[in-house]
Amino acid sequence: MKMEQNFLEEFSWWHYDKQTSEAVIVLCGNGNWRSIRIYCPMWIVNMSQKDIGMLFYNKIYYADEYIMQAMQYQTRRKALSKIVL
């Protein structure tokens, strides 16, 4: 799947959406809010190296009861950041 890349400048935060079981990257550029939804942690490999590095340094937000699901995204980005950083 083609993934949006080079969104580093617009990044605000990312979180785990318990209703859809997706990671949501929230972006804001020029006052326009939008999001990128990631259904599978493996999709992170399709991002640019800078974007993966940025996700490594910014913790994903999640509700405590969804730690196992959210950590799938955090663990994936941590492993990838070791490769690209």
pLDDT digits (tens, 9 = 90+) for 11-43: 999 999 999 999 999 999 999 999 999 999 888
pLDDT at residue 77 is higher than 60: no
Opening angle at CA 8, ends 42 and 64, nearest 5: 55
Higher-confidence position of 78 and 24? 24
pTM for this entry:
0.84
- Domains of the chain, by residue range, sit at 8-84
Beta strands in 3-77 (DSSP E): 11-17, 22-29, 32-38
| Cα–Cα distance for residue pair 16/70, rounded to 1 Å | 6
